[in-house]
Amino acid sequence: MTATTRTLVERYVLPPNAIETLSLSRVRQAIGDLALPAHDIAIIERMVYAAGDVALAGQIRVHPQAVVAGSAALRAGCTVVADVNMVTVALNRAALAGFGCPLECGIADPGVVADAKALGLPRAMVAMRRLAPALEGGIAVIGNAPTALLALLDLIDQGDVQPALIIGTPVGFVAAAESKDELMARSVPYVTIAGTRGGSAVAAAAMNALLRLAAEA
């Protein structure tokens, strides 16, 4: 390597803040003008950024009351329930703590594991049922398991719980698209992605964007 040769790090790596700023700028340029409220666009941009998929913007659905309801719940110190640990590790814990919001995930709880095995049911479903009381007025962040979203919607239909907001982006080819269609057919405020795409990263990105919006309100 000659003295004038630049390393790959020197050629491509930017400071963290510069990476985020440039990435969001490119996202905005790529998705163009969206005929949506600014706070909805802020959530969409963060989800697209997290996915690295500009085409996702056209599939994201934000309920008209999602940001208002979610922000109010956060400022009231609501509980946030995630379906899997992959979501929890990506959430802004400092921002949640600043609002006094507990974060719960029951997927690895020994009782959940034992009950799921005994009943022959998915752990995510059992965990969501067990944590349902914490979701009264709270926020569900479901990024992986359609079974968790379906279980929660059943509880809502039965009048057992009423979350302030559901961020539901389960991914996959079995019941994922259907679970999100069912979510959009209900009156509970939501952020979701139509079809099979989704995942924990985009669910966490939507939640972190909401935390920023709530802090600015």
Q: Is residue 21 part of a domain?
A: no
Going by pLDDT thresholds of 50, 70 and 90, the confidence category of residue 31 is confident
The token duo for 67 is 């940001």
Specify the long-range contacts of residues 173-181, CB closer than 8 Å, at least 24 apart.
Answer: 174/146, 175/146, 175/147, 175/150, 176/146, 178/146, 179/146, 179/149, 179/150, 179/153, 180/146, 180/149
Torsion of CA 60, 62, 67, 68, to 10 degrees: 180
Q: Within a domain: residue 89?
A: yes
Rounded Cα distance between 198 and 202, Å, is: 6
Pairing of strands 103-104, 80-82: parallel
Phi then psi dihedrals of residue 63, to 5 deg: -60, 145
Angle between helices 123-131 and 110-119 (to 10 degrees): 120
Q: Write out the two tokens for 11.
A: 């050629």
What is the total count of domains within the chain?
Answer: 1
Question: Is 134 inside a domain boundary?
Answer: yes
Residue 198 lies in a domain: yes
> pLDDT by residue (tens digit) across 80-134?
999 999 999 999 999 999 999 999 999 999 999 999 999 999 999 999 999 999 9
Instruction: Tell whether 85 is covered by a domain.
Output: yes
**CA within 13 Å, CB half, 157:** 10
Per the domain annotation, does 171 fall within a domain? yes
Q: Residue 62 domain-assigned?
A: yes
Q: How far apart are CA 4 and CA 154, in angstroms?
A: 64
- For 149-207, the pLDDT digits (tens) are 999 999 999 999 999 999 999 999 999 999 999 999 999 999 999 999 999 999 999 99
Global confidence as pTM: 0.92
Identify whether 35 is part of a domain.
no
Structural domain span for residue 117: 58-216
With a cut of 60, say whether residue 1 has pLDDT above it: no
Domain of residue 94, CATH code: 3.40.50.10230
